[in-house]
Chain A
Amino acid sequence: MNKSNFKKISLIIVGISLIAFIILFFNFYAYISYYNTRIEDIQNQYDTRLDDYENNKNLALKYLDIYTINNPQKYTEVKDSIFQHLSENLQKEFTDLEKNISNDSYEKKCIIQDIKGTVEDTGSQIFKVEFKLIDRYTNSDSIIFITISNNKIISATEL
């Protein structure tokens, strides 16, 4: 093979490889772009009307853990999960609670029977929770109204 033929064949091979590579490259990017668009579409089409409600509902349910505090260890556990979501007043109430904790080995249970919520004109959400409280001595039904605004529990009123 002379020098000129080698050059031609090399150029053809390089040319074909280049075209194949470019086609592959475009094909790849077209697919990735199609993938991203579909994922974005799915995310945009998600009906998120209840998301905020559900997040606040979970926060309200978390608040009821306060009723299950039976010893200092449980107090710390509940504090870690809820304290940052309490308003200043409720934080103070929660801190005061620490002084009155007994060290009971008997587990306190809070069974949720019903939870419903409503949105106020101010944007805050109120949850009405019906629950059963079971401990060593009592087995009682209670209702509590928990108001949440900007991801903070601002009031909790038991009936």
Chain B
Amino acid sequence: MIRTLKKLVILTLLLFTLTGCVNRDEISLYLNKEQTESEIEKLEKEKNQNNGEVNRVFKSYNTNKNAAIRFEEDILPYLKDLNLIKFDIGRRSIKSESFLQYNLIVFKTQLLVDIENAVNEELLQLQSYSNIAAKEAEERAVEQIFNSIEIDYFLDSDTGHVEQMIMYKNKDGSNRIISLTWRYGSCSKTNILTSGEA
């Protein structure tokens, strides 16, 4: 009988030892299954909400960016053709058409002035003037400005709206920027910005 009791005591001690290995938080999770389940549900809901939000932002971002890229494909040849002053907006999705038209003309005029300034600067550096040298200087200035054209798409992470910025750098380091804001695949706002010397 004593031997049996001994075995019982050892077994009980063993079980206690095993139970002691279990993390208290885990025991609490197990004992409050309902609460644990509702917490998991809450986390699941938060995750779905976050994923839905991120998807919505990226979907909107892609729509706006694609519209911006389509527009940019048309606008770049216009900017690079020095003889064109007016841009034909045509049937593009633009909200304030006249304001964009106005800003484009201002931007293009500014571009022409910047090219002219760059050409003059090049000409000043020439030892002697010749038509060929002047032509080459103009080509260099135009190439320099056009090669510096950079286009960025700024995302508003709350809405998915995109601000497309087309900018070029002048010889003095200043930047000319035309900014187009795209919402729901349509250009809704335009602005011209100029940064000082870099």
The answer to whether B26 touches A32, judged by C-beta atoms less than 8 angstroms apart, is yes
With both chains docked as a complex, state the minimum distance between the C-beta of B46 and any C-beta of chain A, in angstroms.
8
For window 32-72 of A, CB contacts with B under 8 Å fall at 32, 35, 38-39, 42, 45-47, 49-50, 53-54, 57
Note all chain A residues with C-beta closer than 8 A to B165.
128
The answer to whether A116 touches B155, judged by C-beta atoms less than 8 angstroms apart, is yes
B132 on interface, CB distance cutoff 8 Å: no
The answer to whether A117 touches B155, judged by C-beta atoms less than 8 angstroms apart, is yes
Contact with A along B61-102 (1 / 0, CB 8 A): 000000000000000000000000000000000000000000
Chain B: interface residue count, which band?
A: 35 or more
Taking A10-B8, A25-B18, A31-B29 as given, write out 18 further A-B residue pairs in contact, using a Cβ cutoff of 8 Å, ordered by the A residue number: A28-B27, A28-B30, A31-B30, A39-B40, A39-B43, A45-B51, A46-B50, A50-B57, A57-B157, A114-B156, A117-B154, A117-B157, A118-B152, A118-B153, A118-B155, A157-B195, A159-B195, A159-B196
Query: Interface SS of chain A: helix, strand, loop or mixed?
Result: helix
- Of chain A, the residue at the smallest CB distance from B5 is A10
Q: How far is the CA of A28 from the CA of B36 in the complex (A)?
A: 13
With both chains docked as a complex, state the minimum distance between the C-beta of A44 and any C-beta of chain B, in angstroms.
10
Residues of B within 8 A of A (CB): 1, 4, 7-8, 11, 15, 18, 22, 26-27, 29-30, 33, 36, 40, 43-44, 47, 50-51, 54-55, 57-58, 152-157, 161, 163, 165, 193-196, 198
The answer to whether B4 touches A47, judged by C-beta atoms less than 8 angstroms apart, is no
Closest 3 A-B residue pairs measured CB to CB? A116-B154, A47-B54, A47-B51
The answer to whether A6 touches B1, judged by C-beta atoms less than 8 angstroms apart, is yes
Q: How far is the CA of A42 from the CA of B196 in the complex (A)?
A: 48
A101 on interface, CB distance cutoff 8 Å: no
Chain A: interface residue count, which band?
A: 35 or more
Q: How far is the CA of A159 from the CA of B161 in the complex (A)?
A: 22
The answer to whether B1 touches A14, judged by C-beta atoms less than 8 angstroms apart, is no
Query: Interface SS of chain B: helix, strand, loop or mixed?
Result: helix
Within the complex, which residue of B51, B153, B155 is in contact with A46, where a contact is CB–CB below 8 Å? Answer: B51
Residues of A within 8 A of B (CB): 3, 6-7, 10-11, 14, 18, 21, 25, 28, 31-32, 35, 38-39, 42, 45-47, 49-50, 53-54, 57, 114-118, 126, 128, 143, 145, 157, 159
- Of chain B, the residue at the smallest CB distance from A126 is B152
The answer to whether A47 touches B55, judged by C-beta atoms less than 8 angstroms apart, is yes
Q: How far is the CA of A39 from the CA of B44 in the complex (A)?
A: 9
- With known contacts A25-B18, A118-B152, A128-B163, A53–B11 Cβ distance under 8 A: no
The answer to whether A32 touches B30, judged by C-beta atoms less than 8 angstroms apart, is yes
The answer to whether A42 touches B157, judged by C-beta atoms less than 8 angstroms apart, is no
**What are 9 A-B contacts with C-beta separation under 8 Å?**
A7-B4, A28-B26, A32-B29, A39-B43, A42-B44, A46-B51, A47-B54, A128-B154, A128-B163
Note all chain B residues with C-beta closer than 8 A to A159.
193-196
